Structures are given as structure tokens and as C-alpha cells.
Amino acid sequence: MRATFTLRSVETAARPGPTSINLSDPAIRARLTPAAIDGMVRLAGFWRLSTEETCLLLGDLSERSWFRLKKHDGAATPPDPRPERTRCLSQDMLTRISVLVGLFKGLRLLFSETLADEWIRLPNQGALFGGRTPLDLAIERGIPGLLEIRAHVDALRGGL
């Protein structure tokens, strides 16, 4: 029997309705944080990311901070009702995780599961990559690079 795993989308986890999410609101960020951390942990496992790579994708987060976030992801205890006392990811980190989860989903729709999970580490000769891996580009360019890679995958799927 083969187990199937999926990532929860950060957008889906806390979407209040058809309006956009205000990531500057600490209460919303606190509510999104557990799902985002869980999603990033799972994604790191699928893509076999090292702790260093994970931290760089999250915006040069320290390894100690990443381990602390994973330990206190909110799954075991409910968040403190006072947003200022709740560990929550920054707007930047939530954006990065959202783009990464979207990229993961796009790759899984486009390729076989194995290729989708390896694609991030494969050298790519496309104009965007210039022989580098998508992972290297994402780490080098940060959010703009992540958005370019996501747009590239969406275009390959026929989404643009």
C-alpha cells in the first residue's frame, strides 16, 4: 500500500472568503503560521531540502530560528489569543511559503511525482535559468526569483 501526501495551501487554510488576505494583520499571520510551517516542513521533505536550503528559501532565516519555529508550530497548543504573544511568521515568510507551495502544486500537476520532486534540483537550460537549478535561482533572487519560477511553471501548464 502506498501512502499519498499533500500539502495544505496556506491560502486555503485561512481564507475568510473571496477577499484577499491582509498579511500585515498579526492575528491573520498567527492563524496562518501553523499551516505554513507544516507546509514548509512537508515541502522540504518532498524536495529533500537541507536545513540550510530551507532557511535560505525562507529569507536567510537562522537554523536555530527554523528549528524553534518547527518545534512551536502551534499544532500541539492553540495560539495565544493575543497576537503580539503568538509566534507568527512575517509577511515576507508567508509570501515565500505561499509561492513555494504553489510551485509544488504546479509541478505535481505538470510532471510525474518523481520528476516534480526532482525538478527543483535539475539544471535547466531555459532562458530563465541559464543552466542553473531552479533551487539556486530561487535562493539567489529571493521572492522575485520565486515568482519568476512560479510563473514559468504556470506557463508550462498553460496557465498564462
**Type of residue found at 144:** P
Give a yes or no: residue 40 inside a domain: yes
Rounded to the nearest 10 degrees, what angle do helices 26-46 and 91-110 cross at? 40
Residues in the chain: 160
According to the model, what pLDDT value does residue 85 have?
46
Do residues 8 and 38 touch, judged by C-beta distance below 8 A?
yes
According to the model, what pLDDT value does residue 87 have?
73
Domain count, the chain: 1
- What end-to-end distance do the CA atoms of the chain give, in Å? 37
Q: Compute the mean pLDDT over every residue in the chain, rounded to the nearest whole number.
A: 83
Q: What is the mean pLDDT of residues 47-54?
A: 96
Give a yes or no: residue 134 inside a domain: yes
Separation of alpha carbons 156 and 159, rounded Å: 7
pLDDT digits (tens, 9 = 90+) for 14-50: 444 446 888 889 999 999 999 999 999 999 999 999 9
More confident of the two residues 78 and 101:
101
What's the domain range around 135? 24-156
Give a yes or no: residue 1 inside a domain: no
According to the model, what pLDDT value does residue 19 have?
61
Half-sphere exposure of 2 (CA within 13 A, CB side): 2
Neighbours of 145 (CB within 10 A): 17
According to the model, what pLDDT value does residue 70 have?
85
Entry pTM: 0.79
**Type of residue found at 71:** K
Give a yes or no: residue 103 inside a domain: yes
Q: What is the mean pLDDT of residues 79-99?
A: 75
Give a yes or no: residue 9 inside a domain: no
Give a yes or no: residue 10 inside a domain: no
Do residues 127 and 118 touch, judged by C-beta distance below 8 A?
no
Percent with pLDDT over 90 in the chain: 64
Give a yes or no: residue 87 inside a domain: yes
Give a yes or no: residue 6 inside a domain: no
